[in-house]
Amino acid sequence: MRLARSSGILCHPTCFPSRHGIGDLGQGAYDFVDWAAGAGQKLWQILPLGPTGYGDSPYQCFSAFAGNPNLISPDQLAWHGLLPAEALAEVPPFADGRVDYGPVIAHKARLLRRSFEHFQAHGTAEQRAGFAAFLEYHDGWVKDYALFMALKAHFGGGSWQDWPREVALRRPKALDPLRVELAAAITYYEYLQWCFADQWQALKSYANQKGIQIIGDIPIFAAEDSADVWGRPELFQLDKNHRPVVVAGVPPDYFSDAGQLWGNPHYCWDDMARDGYAWWVERIRRTLQMVDIVRVDHFRGFEAYWAVPAGDRTAKKGRWVKGPGATFFEAVEKALGKLPIIAEDLGIITPEVDELRLQFDLPGMKVLQFGFAQELDSKYLPHSYEANYVVYPGTHDNNTVAGWFNEPERTPQEKWKCLRYMNCDEVDLPWAFIRAAWGSVADVAVAQLQDVMGLGAEARMNYPSKLGGNWQWRYTPDRLTDALCARLRELTRLYQR
């Protein structure tokens, strides 16, 4: 499905200002939407919204369907009578500009638990009816997710692979008594999902009313330590003990000489095909309830995926295995109709991957930074674009433009070519990249908020294949200025986006 000529900002909710140490769905989110609408933007792109686990990555979540409780705004809970005001009287002094996940998660957990207790004791009839309706509507995933999270807490927080084997293998004789014992905990995790959904839908409605559509993100793979793999092991390539046989990654590429070893179990695509990819259909349906457009991460994995033997320490010894290809998208379209999907087609792309994307008229992606290697790579530079693409100066996996330009490996020749092509000096390079994206023929142009702010490597969101130090950047309110809003609005009008 082609997208209208438009532009937008990439900024995950964790990046918003908040006194609770992490961006959430409270006032900071609404202020961002107001600013983006004032700047003439029609799109807001986010990362996956799922509950994050080890490493805090939104691409390794405990569920492909649930929302991240750490994004729930305590202030919004209090505003709606779901948290007593005195619970917010003492908030720890969190650092500005970064998310320190350990203390933040502990702080949020205390407030969320207090909210649940308050709801149980003082919830109104309307609130209780809303909670019950949510559980009924989302019965297909929320109960199993809540059970999974209750069990995870009960067994010390570790991976389900480390639980007692009868529980890990979902034996009814082991699970049924635990369902009774953990009933209150299960309800608690269901309650958090209701709170998240309520706050997110209110924010989405506000953005839509302001003329902004939200681009969401679906990671192609599910995390091994997730309710999805634990609850539906038959969908994944697991052995008789439910341990992965092969895992996901990519061979050596732009980001890593050793490749990237993600560790996610691969799907049993042939088995999924027998019921029309029902699990995937429901996953996409759920995502499109939360966002307006979906970016499918690692699109090339639908044509062929890199399978690494489980237990390998790097991704070098994997092999390409054919994926479901066109049959998958035909089944999804049959169930849901033509879909607003963006194909993340970066990395090692073959003619077969291009053919699959074009067969379903899906927009691909262009990243301007990739155009300035030792030799100019024209397929990533605006003079060679076709219309059905989304162009980025850089994505969340890239350095900021200013940070990228000053990386030690950037050669003088690369820098010279870049400045000559962009016809600017180093100081104005981030905005020259934005101008090039906005002025291109690509239907959609999206810039990281960090590049709009002209920030350096200190504001980088993610280092692919590097553990620790990722997903932490957030901005302070003073950085979202009227001057930047006006400058972006002028550029957006100039290039008719």
Q: Which residues are catalytic?
A: 297, 344, 397
Contact 63, 218 (CB under 8 A): no
- In a 13 Å sphere around the CA of 69, the CA atoms on its Cβ side amount to 25
172, with CB counted inside 10 A (0-12, 13-18, 19+), is exposed
How far is it, in rounded angstroms, from Cα 84 to Cα 107? 15
Q: What is the DSSP string of 342-370?
A: EE---SS--HHHHHHHHHTT--EEEEGGG
DSSP letter for 154, please: H
HEC per residue, 174-219: HHHHHHHHCHHHHHHHHHHHHHHHHHHHHHHHHHHHCCCEEEEEEC
- What does the block give as tokens for 269? 């695509």
**Helix ranges restricted to H, 27-96:** 27-38, 74-79
The length of the chain is 497
Matching residue, tokens 């209150």: 184
Q: What gap in Å lies between CA 336 and CA 284, rounded to an integer?
A: 9
DSSP SS3 for 43: strand
Sign, Cα dihedral of 249, 253, 256, 257: positive
Report the chain's C-alpha Rg in angstroms.
23
Token pair for 69: 């409780």
Report whether 431 contacts 422 (CB < 8 A): no
